Structure 1
Amino acid sequence: MIRLDNVSKQVGHQILFIEASAALQRGEKIGLVGPNGAGKTTLFRMISGREQPDEGQVSIDRGVSIGYFNQDVGEMSGRSAVAEVMDGAGPVSSVAAELKELETAMADPDRADEMDDIIARYGEVLARFEELDGYALDSRAREALAGLGFSEEMMDKDVGLLSGGWKMRVALARILLMRPDVMLLDEPSNHLDLESLIWLEQFLKGYEGALLMTSHDREFINRIINKVIEIDAGQLTTYSGDYDFYEQQRALNEKQQQAQYERQQAMLSKEIKFIERFKARASHAAQVQSRVKKLDKIERVEPPKRRQTVAFDFLPAPRSGEDVVALKNVSKSYGSRRIYDGLDFMIRRRERWCVMGVNGAGKSTLLKLIAGSAEPDDGSVTIGGSVKMGYFAQHAMDLLDGDETVFESLEHSFPQAGQGSLRALAGCFGFSGDDVEKRCRVLSGGEKARLVMAKMLYDPPNFLVLDEPTNHLDMATKEMLIAALSSFEGTMLFVSHDRHFLAALSNRVLELTSDGLHQYGGGYTEYVARSGHEAPGLRS
């Protein structure tokens, strides 16, 4: 369906692709992977025709329709969310628009002399509308929006009043309703809660077209794809299988390449020593010349490319008392909406609670009450003895000083720390080389999240309260964070929609439902086994 043949592409001074080739066949579901800046979005833009390769060719079979979702959704306003979604449904939306115009014309007395032609055309257009299953369009649009977390009220509201994250969901629903032959999805899992993520996962599993997607959510991509295309050092390499298989195969390939490289280096070293030793002896001249020619002809094996990963190690945190937080008879309302009424909850040392609940259940409110950024209307929130809290909230990223560089921001927070120590900290969280001189205002969402996290973890707390800490983080940073938090000896309370993160770190689950709190020991994996669902809004 789609082929990239010897494609080369340079953006500014950066060479992204060098004679790279790959193919996307009918029905394949492919994960596109590679480090940040490797060219994933550029590849999407070349396939969708928004950019052209400098050399080589992108070939698309005749008649193949492509739907492209990316993070830049543009302006949306003046229509309801459901109308915006229906407008992206391809031919049926233009047929529906003509049908509406003809209905208006039939009711216009000034066009009575054209009525026979209008009625004839209306019959043709209506037949085409029915053939395209147009009457189901509204319900299909609403089904997609509901799956992505919209209430009926939100569906009929002007899309211009929605936040950026909800507009992203509208743009995604447009592509899903379109059901093109090929979907290009650039980070579709961003801005989705767990229920919406699982709904999208099921939708894409049942989608019969070809799919090329990126995602920082390991569990999500792993369950959908059956092939991986990796971008690395300008090349495209294809692996059959899911993401886990790709990781295993890549590690095996690297190991084999390293062994091959070392064998060749040993052989070259031996040959070079012989040449050096005997090059001055006339009796060995023929052998020396023969070996020099042999070396010139050998195709050199390159060592495997190493992905730069830095581990973050916690400094030991001071030990807290056994009772970390106690909530007693806590009530909390926002206006007429009651979130908690007589809540009792206790967190003890070394417990790692993940908080589950549908949108509006009160997950972030619970974290705010415990962190002290919200006060209960009634009852008490008591922090235990020797508890040192670190609180990661989404709004914390908005509090960074845009004029400060990354390094100045760290220096401002830790004036007593040495430069070497702060540079090492920055490196652990992905700010190496000149990255530390970036102004905070130009940082991406992921970079801001990493900087806030670096500040929080440098002077280690013994109680971490984390509200969606994995939003915006790429897979490598998530893995680093999971590894670091796995060795954290303190207490944790967190909300996340990343199932890999939930399963790796929780040993308790607090589920917030309309009929009260449910507590599960054993963490997220046991919660799924015992409750029969992966998220509170789903039933299996």
Structure 2
Amino acid sequence: MLSINNLSYFIGGRALYENAALHIKPKDKIGLVGLNGTGKSTLLKIINGDIQPSSGEVQKAKDCTIGFLNQDLLSYQSEDSILDVALEAFKETLQLEQEIENILHQMETDHSDEIINKLARLQDQFEANEGYTIKAKAEEVLEGIGFNTKDLGRPLKTFSGGWRMRVMLAKLLLEKPSLLMLDEPTNHLDLPSIQWVENYLKNYEGAVVVVSHDQDFLDNCVDITVEVSNGSLTSYSGNYSFYQEEKKERMEIQQNAYENQQQMIKQTERFIERFRAKATKSNQVQSRIKALDRLDRVNEVVDDNISVNFKFKFSQKSGRDVVVLDHVSKAYGDLVILKDTTARIERGDKIALIGANGKGKSTLLRIVDGTEPIKGKREQGHNVIKSFYAQHQLEALNVDNEILQEMVQAGSKKTETELRNVLGCFLFTNEDVFKKIKVLSGGEKSRVALAKTMISEANFLLLDEPTNHLDIQSVNILIQAMEQYEGTFITVSHDRHFIRGVANKIWYIEENKIKEYPGNYDEFVYWKSQQVASLTDTKQDSKPKQDTRKKELSITEVNEAKKNLKKKEHELALIEEKILQIETKKAELEKKMADPVVFSDIKKMEEVNQSYQKLKNQESELNQNWETLVEEIGSLQEAASLA
């Protein structure tokens, strides 16, 4: 479907890609992974035609269409409602609908066969394009990725950048291009929406290439992993977990080959050095020198994984109770977030606050922080030193500072060596620490802000979506850091891999109450699934057992059943007669609708349509009554048979 051959792309003198190759087949689900700066987003832009490669080519089939979700779409605004923006995915069908509307206006004065035939053709095409269902499809996708039904009529421009990005994702999913390219699609989605998109992509008919830092997302929706590294593209035939294991094995094989080759080189060099001066060995020496020159050298393995090797320190431990919320309520007008709820955070708690957007997670985080007005009581424990990380922390960075300078000014009293060590764990090494904040990407600024949070010597951290804009390596580093942290923290996150790695308690908001599960994320998911299964079993068990009920029927009840049976059978016969009458009337109206005289008269056609719709509604109601009666008669027949 699409082939990349001998691709090279240079930025200045640096080769981002050099003779890279990739083949994308129909229905491939590809995860594009690699360190920040290796060129993942650049590759998507080259495929889309936004950037021209230095050399090489991208070949695609004539019928291949491409849909590209990238962060540039955050700036897109429109006066149209989000439903209308999503419906733009069906341009051809919407044009047909407009043409049909125009012809219907023309037919008020023009009744020619030509225009009637044109209308019929357009209507057939509109129906073939499933034009009557496009609105329902758009609503389903928008609601699947987190929008409320009441929001669908709001103008796009009234939503934040993250929500606008969701609309653009919905539009792309509805367009169903041959190749769907998604650059960090989970950045702006909550957990339920991520799971919905995962299921959608699993069943997507076309090919998908996705760049994501969410390891669970990659595991659940890709079957090929392509690593971008050292200017090349290396494919692994499995999801992200498979890629990790397979890469580890390949690295071991490469390292063994490197060590064996190095041993052979050293032996050869010793032979050359020892016998270089002996005339009798000169041919052998020259032969081995030439062999070394021709040798295809195996590169030593460079491990991309970085370990956090510093301890987080704070001057004093907090008391046992860190924060206590007592009968807390919070509402914004008619929107109730919390109602008379109680919760406690104790020293050593590692809490992940999860759930759908709009449930009040960030509000609850501010309540815990003490910066959100509430009804009820919030008590902070003894010796609690807080540090709050949120995306707005990025705006608080001094853009004129260098990274190291920003860390020094954070006031932690750490030495430059200690600060460099911390920054190294957040992927800022060597001369990187002298970069100005203003030249950093969003992900790099996030890492600086996180590093500042970690050196604050706080014994209680509040982290709002800390993994947003971090690559996979940075997320893993943050997990290591949080595992070593001896204080208390609460974090809002939709990254399941991160939550799984750091949390020992799960909080969620349900029925305006703070609910707590005292275990890790996997245990919580299992517990939730058991709850759902138990609820289903309870509903099934609550249904009366037919055999037991029969045994308990008295003779009086059996006689009553026989009496009711005759009554219901009479009612059923009347309904069947009415349905037959309606079917006859519908057939007569269908003949009228096919009559050119009626068809060309807009007023008559509307009257016939209204009558026909009224009959359909009556028929639908009668059919429902008929089904109910049939079920009742079946039950009565069983009861009557016990006489």
Give the Å deviation of 1:481: 0.6
2:71 aligned counterpart, secondary structure:
coil
Matching of residues 184-199 of structure 1 within 5 Å: 184-199=181-196
2:80 is the alignment partner of 1:83: no
Q: Is this contact kept in 1: 2:412–2:457, CA < 8 A?
A: no
C-alpha separation in 2, matches of 1:136 and 1:300: 61
Assess, with a 3 A threshold, how the Cα gap between structure 1 residues 533 and 165 changes in structure 2: closer, same or farther.
Answer: farther
Alignment-derived partner of residue 234 in structure 2: 237
Letter in 2 for 1:215: S
Alignment-derived partner of residue 424 in structure 1: 421
C-alpha separation in 2, matches of 1:421 and 1:452: 17
Q: Is this contact kept in 2: 1:329–1:379, CA < 8 A?
A: yes
Give the Å deviation of 1:214: 0.9
Alignment-derived partner of residue 368 in structure 1: 366
C-alpha separation in 1, matches of 2:396 and 2:52: 40
Q: Is this contact kept in 2: 1:321–1:386, CA < 8 A?
A: yes
C-alpha separation in 2, matches of 1:533 and 1:47: 45
2:351 is the alignment partner of 1:353: yes
Give the Å deviation of 1:97: 1.8
Give the Å deviation of 1:414: 2.3
Alignment-derived partner of residue 508 in structure 1: 505
Letter in 2 for 1:345: A
2:407 aligned counterpart, secondary structure:
helix
C-alpha separation in 2, matches of 1:19 and 1:254: 22
Letter in 2 for 1:504: G
Aligned residue pair count: 532
What do you get for the CA RMSD once the two structures are aligned? Answer: 2.3
C-alpha separation in 2, matches of 1:517 and 1:454: 30
Moved more, 410-419 or 57-66: 410-419
Assess, with a 3 A threshold, how the Cα gap between structure 1 residues 119 and 441 changes in structure 2: closer, same or farther.
Answer: farther
Give the Å deviation of 1:113: 5.9
Please list the CA deviations of residues 282-306 of structure 1 after superposition, one character each: whole Å capped at 9, or x if unmatched. 1211221222222222211121244
Letter in 1 for 2:364: L
Identical-residue share of aligned pairs (%): 37
Alignment-derived partner of residue 327 in structure 2: 329
Q: Is this contact kept in 2: 1:314–1:460, CA < 8 A?
A: no
Give the Å deviation of 1:201: 0.6
C-alpha separation in 2, matches of 1:374 and 1:395: 16
C-alpha separation in 1, matches of 2:94 and 2:472: 42
2:515 is the alignment partner of 1:518: yes
2:25 is the alignment partner of 1:25: yes
Alignment-derived partner of residue 475 in structure 2: 478
Letter in 2 for 1:6: N
Out of 337, 340, 352, the residue aligned to residue 339 of structure 1 is: 337
Alignment-derived partner of residue 62 in structure 1: 62
Please list the CA deviations of residues 430-473 of structure 1 after superposition, one character each: whole Å capped at 9, or x if unmatched. 22244333333343222222111111111332222211111111
C-alpha separation in 1, matches of 2:275 and 2:497: 60
Assess, with a 3 A threshold, how the Cα gap between structure 1 residues 3 and 508 changes in structure 2: closer, same or farther.
Answer: same
Out of 98, 101, 104, the residue aligned to residue 100 of structure 1 is: 98
TM-score (norm 2): 0.79
Give the Å deviation of 1:7: 1.4
2:450 is the alignment partner of 1:453: yes
Alignment-derived partner of residue 624 in structure 2: none
Give the Å deviation of 1:533: 8.8
TM-score (norm 1): 0.93
C-alpha separation in 2, matches of 1:125 and 1:306: 61
Please list the CA deviations of residues 66-110 of structure 1 after superposition, one character each: whole Å capped at 9, or x if unmatched. 222111114231211111111123xxx22322431441353258x
C-alpha separation in 2, matches of 1:356 and 1:293: 64
Alignment-derived partner of residue 11 in structure 1: 11
Alignment-derived partner of residue 252 in structure 2: 255
C-alpha separation in 2, matches of 1:325 and 1:516: 17
Letter in 2 for 1:276: E
Letter in 2 for 1:65: T
Alignment-derived partner of residue 171 in structure 1: 168
1:447 aligned counterpart, secondary structure:
helix
Please list the CA deviations of residues 6-57 of structure 1 after superposition, one character each: whole Å capped at 9, or x if unmatched. 1112233331111111211122211111111211122112222323332222
Q: Is this contact kept in 2: 1:331–1:341, CA < 8 A?
A: yes
Q: Is this contact kept in 2: 1:310–1:427, CA < 8 A?
A: no
C-alpha separation in 1, matches of 2:116 and 2:429: 69
2:187 aligned counterpart, secondary structure:
coil
Q: Is this contact kept in 1: 2:89–2:171, CA < 8 A?
A: yes
C-alpha separation in 1, matches of 2:113 and 2:50: 44
Matching of residues 57-456 of structure 1 within 5 Å: 57-73=57-73, 74-89=75-90, 93-107=91-105, 112=109, 117-307=114-304, 309-311=306-308, 313-317=310-314, 318-376=316-374, 378-414=375-411, 416-456=413-453
Assess, with a 3 A threshold, how the Cα gap between structure 1 residues 336 and 123 changes in structure 2: closer, same or farther.
Answer: same
1:8 aligned counterpart, secondary structure:
strand
Assess, with a 3 A threshold, how the Cα gap between structure 1 residues 315 and 42 changes in structure 2: closer, same or farther.
Answer: closer
Q: Is this contact kept in 2: 1:183–1:212, CA < 8 A?
A: yes
C-alpha separation in 2, matches of 1:533 and 1:395: 39
1:10 aligned counterpart, secondary structure:
strand
Letter in 1 for 2:428: F
Q: Is this contact kept in 1: 2:312–2:486, CA < 8 A?
A: no
C-alpha separation in 2, matches of 1:112 and 1:338: 56
Moved more, 262-271 or 411-420: 411-420
C-alpha separation in 2, matches of 1:415 and 1:71: 35
Alignment-derived partner of residue 591 in structure 2: none
**Greater share of residues in helix:** 2
C-alpha separation in 1, matches of 2:299 and 2:244: 20
Letter in 1 for 2:46: M
Give the Å deviation of 1:115: 6.2
1:15 aligned counterpart, secondary structure:
strand
Q: Is this contact kept in 2: 1:106–1:118, CA < 8 A?
A: no
Give the Å deviation of 1:126: 2.0
Letter in 1 for 2:458: P
1:241 aligned counterpart, secondary structure:
coil
C-alpha separation in 2, matches of 1:137 and 1:209: 19
Letter in 2 for 1:460: E
Give the Å deviation of 1:366: 1.7
C-alpha separation in 2, matches of 1:395 and 1:54: 38
C-alpha separation in 2, matches of 1:534 and 1:275: 74
Q: Is this contact kept in 2: 1:329–1:343, CA < 8 A?
A: yes
Compare CA radii of gyration and give the structure with the larger one: 2
Assess, with a 3 A threshold, how the Cα gap between structure 1 residues 415 and 462 changes in structure 2: closer, same or farther.
Answer: closer
C-alpha separation in 1, matches of 2:93 and 2:31: 34
Please list the CA deviations of residues 333-373 of structure 1 after superposition, one character each: whole Å capped at 9, or x if unmatched. 32343322322211112122222333332221221122122
Letter in 2 for 1:391: F
Letter in 2 for 1:25: K
Letter in 2 for 1:81: I
Give the Å deviation of 1:415: 7.1
1:180 aligned counterpart, secondary structure:
coil
Q: Is this contact kept in 2: 1:7–1:20, CA < 8 A?
A: yes
Assess, with a 3 A threshold, how the Cα gap between structure 1 residues 115 and 167 changes in structure 2: closer, same or farther.
Answer: farther
C-alpha separation in 1, matches of 2:519 and 2:370: 28
Letter in 2 for 1:466: L
Q: Is this contact kept in 1: 2:96–2:126, CA < 8 A?
A: no
Q: Is this contact kept in 2: 1:16–1:38, CA < 8 A?
A: yes
Letter in 1 for 2:78: S
Letter in 2 for 1:361: K
